[in-house]
Amino acid sequence: PPSFHQIQQESPVPTPLPEPKTLTYPPQTPITKQTPFQLPTQVLSFSYSDQHELEFTDSALRYFVGPPLGAKLGYGYDRWVRKPDTRGRIDALLRAIGKAKEDSKKRGMVEGVGVVCWRGVMTRILTAPYEDRDGWEMNVMLVNGTLYFEEHLSDEKLKDKNNMAPRQRLQTYYGYAFESYCTSETQTRRSSSSPSYPDAPFGWSGDVNTNVQWCSVVRTKLGDTRMIIGGEVDCVRGKYTGKTDSFVELKTSMTIRGAQDEARFEKKLLKFYFQSFLLGVPEIFVGFRTPAGVVITTQSFKTMELPRLVRGKPGAWDPLVCLAWGHRFLTFLRDVVQQQGNTPVWRAKFVPGSGATVRRLDEDDVVDVVGGEERVGFLPRWYWEEART
Ligand code: A3P
Ligand code: MG
Ligand code: MG
């Protein structure tokens, strides 16, 4: 039976469908009041194995050791083990929350939260005021006062992601190869090269398998909304202590050769900034590469200093604009979706230059977000059963 009817048996979906609501915005709304953001604290960490199985261990944690200059990022491309691109479910994050609830010392950290989502979704929300190209959609549920967001990819976008043009795929690989050169499974780099590939270049720490990921789940607060956010952390510097202050985000970017390149890079820093800021990652280590994937120089940035670095520049942005917008957006969403029970699924859509809309999905729409009997909307049933009361 279609799972939507199952949902109706549980608790009737209110009818008729409400009208979609719109939040327009002049992209850079003047800020009347600063929106406070609380520094994130880590709740727990987990790993994905080389088969992309979730483990509550730090097996996928990597240590920063720095790349050799001249590193060739095309190395090992034909051996890349790719994680298939699938819809961005939040199951692993919910399992992490379930795990934290079992721990009397951590339970309090995951209670009373207003928003649960992956870091990538929150980055997209917060950077929207400066986004002039890529729109996005996400699915939203409100269960017992907590908003859950998952990325929504249309079938078409999902297909594009899995059928990337060869050139684009190689460039994506460069980013992962950079991670291999920069990190080690141990705190110091092993002196010999990878044993399975005796011809591996200096500094190569092993072939790329994008199934392997180390993730951190943090608790933070935007305005008066407490949030649980999870995301991948590339590596740590020195000892890992369970705090975020040793975390390092790795990035590659094309070398900067002129004013136009520089402005483009400054613009890109906005995404680097929020991506790192949201998980409390204090350092962003960038490898500048040639078009052919050779690392020419590297530079380390302090996440907290980026706003000052771009201020007054051609590619400037202001994080306060983003936080103010984010706060408005979350308030708007909550206002629209509340008092509609614990089961409906909503779709929020952002269109650059015009704003955000939210509508409740009806029976036909909802089909591509539910996953059969074991789900309610897009949430796993086991989680929903526990969360709704
Ligand atoms: P670069 O960031 O060096 O380009 P992350 O930087 O978030 O840790 O991601 C690691 C790499 O994954 C990126 O390296 C990039 O190659 C790839 N990647 C991440 N997000 C992507 C996206 N939205 N589209 C294409 N590739 C992406
Ligand atoms: Mg990463
Ligand atoms: Mg990275």
pLDDT in tens, 287-300: 999 999 999 999 99
ipTM for the predicted complex: 0.95
Please check whether residue 289 is in contact with residue 297, taking contact to mean a CB–CB distance below 8 angstroms.
Answer: no
Over residues 225-234, mean pLDDT: 98
pLDDT in tens, 29-39: 667 789 999 99
Identify the band that residue 10 occupies on the pLDDT scale cut at 50, 70 and 90: very low
The SS3 assignment for 40 reads strand
pLDDT in tens, 307-318: 999 999 988 999
Strand partners, 147: 115, 142
Of all protein residues, whose CA lies closest to atom 6 belonging to ligand 1? Answer: 251
For residue 6, is pLDDT > 50?
no
Q: What is the pTM of this model?
A: 0.93
For residue 15, is pLDDT > 50?
yes
Q: In whole angstroms, what is the distance from residue 6 CA to residue 20 CA?
A: 25
For residue 2, is pLDDT > 50?
no
Q: Which of 172, 233, 268, 301 to mutate to test the pocket of ligand 1 (most atoms within 8 A of CB)?
A: 172
Q: Where are the alpha helices (DSSP H) in 115-258?
A: 119-127, 155-162, 166-182
Please check whether residue 236 is in contact with residue 64, taking contact to mean a CB–CB distance below 8 angstroms.
Answer: yes
Picking from 86-90, 116-120, 346-350, which range would have the lowest pLDDT averaged per residue?
86-90
Chain centre to alpha carbon of residue 283: 17
Q: Is 151 in the pocket of ligand 1 (CB under 6 A)?
A: no
> Is beta strand 146-152 parallel, antiparallel or unpaired with respect to 355-360?
unpaired
Of all protein residues, whose CA lies closest to atom 18 belonging to ligand 1? Answer: 172
Identify the band that residue 342 occupies on the pLDDT scale cut at 50, 70 and 90: confident
Ligand 1 atom at minimal distance to the Cα of residue 176: 11
Residue count of the chain: 389
10 Å Cβ neighbour count for 373? 10
Q: Kindly report the average pLDDT of the chain as a whole number.
A: 90
Beta-strand ranges (E) seen in the chain are: 21-24, 37-48, 54-55, 63-64, 115-118, 136-143, 146-152, 183-184, 213-222, 225-232, 235-236, 247-254, 283-289, 295-302, 346-351, 355-360, 375-376, 379-380
For residue 1, is pLDDT > 70?
no
Q: In whole angstroms, what is the distance from residue 20 CA to residue 240 CA?
A: 46
